[in-house]
Structures are given as C-alpha cells and as structure tokens.
Amino acid sequence: MSFWSSEKIKETAAKCPLVEPYDEKSVEHCAYELGLGPEAFLTSDDENKKTVLKEGEQLVIPPGQFCLLLTEESVCIPSNAIGLISIKAGIKFRGLVNVSGFHVDPGFQGRLKFSVYNAGSQNIVLQHGQRVFLLWFCDLDRSTSDTYKGARTKQFEISTEDVMRMQGEIASPGQLKKEIQEVQTNVRVLNWMLGILVTFVFGFIFLFLRGNIQPTNSANQSGQQRTTAVVTNAVPQLIK
C-alpha cells in the first residue's frame, strides 16, 4: 500500500474523473484540497434546518457546537484505491475536529460530508469555497469488486435525515462553566441573605423574651418587699 504522489494524482485525473470540478492548482503536497460546499448544518441553529451558503458567504461555528459540512467538489474513488480525508492543519489548530469517518471507500462517488466539532474557545469562521479539507489517495494491492454500494452513493446535499440526526443545541464546556459560576454566585447571595434573616429572627426572639421576663422580675421583687414589711411590722407585736 502506497500513497499517490502529486504527479500520479494529476496523471490519473487526466484519464478519469477523480474530482469534479477538478483544479490542478488544488493538488498540494500529494493531496487534493477540497473546498467548503454550499450547504452546512449547525446544531446551534434555532430553526433546525440546514444553511445554504452563497458564493463567498461565511459560516460561523460557535465553541462547543457540532456542524455538518459538505464539500464543494464531488469525488470518485477508483476501485484500486482508497481515500483518506482530514481537515487542513491551520483550521484544526483553531479547534475544529473531524468526528466523522477518516476514509472514503473504493468506488464511492459524490460529495463528502464532514461532521465536525468546535473544541476551541472561540468562533471558527469558514467561507464558501475555502480550501478546508484534504483528500489523499492510497493504492490497494489490486482492484476490488467489493466497491461501495451504500445509501450515500452519489450524495450531493445534506439530507433531512442528516438534520434530524444532529438537531439540538449542545451545551459547550465554556457555557457550562459560565452557568456553574452563575449558580455559585446565586448560592453565595442566598447564604448571605439567609444569614441576615437568621440574625434578625434570633434578635427579635431575644428582645421579645427580654421584654416579657423583666416585668415578672419586678413583680417578684415588689412581692418580696411587701412580705418583708409585713414580717418586720409583726415582730415588735410578738415581742410585746
């Protein structure tokens, strides 16, 4: 098994349609650079429908969100080769991760779909037609009759089934951290308010009890004084 050189890609493309539309300038470092196509679907889309990109229009992928991307070109993998796919390094370094398959079966025809995830902390902005994806061709030891015949053959758009599988906004780690911090702040405020309330209640109870105990003590003291006076007056009479 060996990877095709840039020369072999160009020579083979001249004989059979490897990529359509084909541009020889897109062959770089033994790979073909594929562009971002006219359709995409974001999990953060409130309307839960795919986005149609006009020529030169930009697509923003927020942090922590999944996105389904479509290539601009259609590919045709020969029966004696297999395709390997990835995202260009400069875009991956921003945090865009390919979470879909990493190969294209022999005999596959159609546009490629990339399921990606923004693992970075900032928005990733892509533009329709921008060279985003890489496709390498790799020889098999011989041609195979076991070529791709699945449901995705000759796919050219993002289907309703694709949208239904991916719909629903994903809570990003950054958003979760923000919400946790807000909860912690609210808990601290509630604890502070609860402390004030408890202090007020205990203070009120103390003042209430103090106000009710003092008159009772005064009454007891008055009773004791009257008792002492009676006893004092009675003592001389008993002596006489």
Cα 50 from Cα 58, distance rounded (Å): 14
Number of H helices, E strands in the chain: 4, 12
pLDDT of residue 104: 96
What is the pLDDT at residue 231? Answer: 41
CA distances from 220 to 57, 68, 206, 224, 230 (A): 93, 88, 21, 6, 16
Distances (CA, A) of 137 to 18, 27, 53: 10, 12, 28
CB 133 within 8 A of CB 71: yes
pLDDT of residue 142: 94
DSSP string, 25-36: GGEETTEEEEEE
Q: What is the pLDDT of residue 89?
A: 95
Q: Would you give per-residue pLDDT tens digits along the chain (240 residues)? A: 699 999 999 999 999 999 999 999 999 999 999 999 999 999 887 788 899 999 899 999 999 999 999 999 999 999 999 999 999 999 999 999 999 889 999 999 999 999 999 999 899 999 999 999 999 999 999 999 999 988 777 889 999 888 888 776 555 555 555 556 667 777 788 888 888 887 888 777 877 777 766 554 554 555 555 545 444 454 444 344
> How many other CB atoms are there within 10 angstroms of residue 66's CB atom?
19
- What is the reported pTM? 0.70
